[in-house]
Amino acid sequence: MDLLTALVDKGLRRELPTRDEALAVLATPDDELLDVVAAAGRVRRRWFGRRVKLNYLVNLKSGLCPEDCSYCSQRLGSQADILKYTWLKPDEAAKAAGAGVAGGAKRVCLVASGRGPTDRDVDRVSRTIEAIKDQNEDVEVCACLGLLSGGQAERLRAAGADAYNHNLNTSENTYGDITTTHTYADRVDTVHRAQAAGLSACSGLIAGMGETDEDLVDVVFGLRELDPDSVPVNFLIPFEGTPLAKEWNLTPQRCLRILAMVRFVCPDVEVRLAGGREVHLRTMQPLALHLANSIFLGDYLTSEGQAGQADLDMIADAGFEVEGAQTRTLPGHRGADVCGSSGDAGCAAGCGGHEGGACGSHEPAVSVPAAQPVPAEEAAPGVRTDLVAVRRRGAGTDLPPNA
């Protein structure tokens, strides 16, 4: 295809495709899907070889957020039956992070629900970062705490944070349809604050919320303009009890086309396969590794992922290798790489795990009963509600984490 030849040439030169070209990728038929994956895979291999970076989420504080993000299981008014607990202590968070590092994670993403941190919260997270780095000197630490105010990014950087995540999630034109308690511009401002403080910016999107192809291209072009080092691509997890519970709009094929479009628009950026991959890509996940060079290991914020060992087996079986702690992630022309000892997202919210970040509560921990399956008659034909599993292990529980 002339389209794919042109996109590969542009990706190898780090040249921005046109909007029409990006839209054409999303419109390609399923019969040409493998051609699209192969073409975008050439661009991925040019800048990242066959390496896969592993990231691990630690949900520092879960539930009862005052924001109204429609996709989020922790939002104001959410009826989702998720874990709810207040801040983990630094040693508890460090223990959870250690499980991810032991499983092969190069980056730990510290996420807390809430509109944004107070200065006291920043102090608390700073102590947590220090505790994690005391035990794992080379690990990268990304914070995802919501909207930042003056000086907070600098304080996180001084404490040893390497990166900050704050996703754009959707296009500026449709942002008000998803969230009303803050704006698209607020999110852009926080990414700029992180970059100005010397933190590696992590910012991405959520697909599957009912958006158009034009919306998807708009948000990815907006990300290209922001120039984050990592772009987590989330696929909506339609939690029962949230406004988007019935939005089952994705197929594995569409997910792959979205990832390919992101790779063509952001050729030399860490593209992270994030929340919802198990739900929507299912058995096609290995193909996505030809497009994304980064994934989350194990569970997400409020939902469970596939077993950590299954992630490692998938990477090996697909012919890829886990990126080592001492290996540079980003191409040299992108400047100084993130280094865990120098004190990337992801993360919708949530350093890439969209079902919870940047929303908040100071409520005490509560016990949560086991989630009940969605009755078959309430689910739309063909959707896999059985794949949406609420997290019941790891941070905030007495059960070991999945890593």
Q: So what's the pLDDT on residue 46?
A: 98
Contact call for residues 167 and 232 (beta carbons, < 8 A)? yes
Distance of alpha carbon 319 from alpha carbon 132, whole angstroms: 31
pTM of the model: 0.88
SS3 label, residue 164: strand
Q: What is the DSSP string of 6-56?
A: HHHHHHHTTPPPPHHHHHHHHT--GGGHHHHHHHHHHHHHHHHTTEEEEEE
pLDDT at 318 over 50: yes
Phi, psi dihedral angles at 193 (to 5 degrees): -60, -40
pLDDT digits (tens, 9 = 90+) for 247-263: 999 999 999 999 999 99
pLDDT at 350 over 70: no
Distances (CA, A) of 274 to 93, 241, 308, 374: 21, 22, 14, 24
Least confident of 28-42, 106-120, 217-231, 253-267: 106-120
Q: What is the DSSP letter of 224?
A: H
Going by C-alpha positions, the residue among 48, 9, 43, 15 that lies closest to residue 331 is 48
Residues identified as active-site:
65, 69, 72, 109, 142, 202, 272
In the chain, the domains with their CATH numbers are 2-332 (3.20.20.70)
pLDDT at 360 over 50: no
Work out the burial of residue 339: count CB atoms within 10 Å of its CB; fewer than 13 is exposed, 13-18 middle, 19 or more buried. Answer: middle
**Tally of CB atoms within 10 A around 200:** 28
Cα–chain center distance at 134: 25
Q: Of 115-119, 176-180, 196-200, give the range with the top mean pLDDT.
A: 196-200
pLDDT digits (tens, 9 = 90+) for 121-133: 999 999 999 999 9
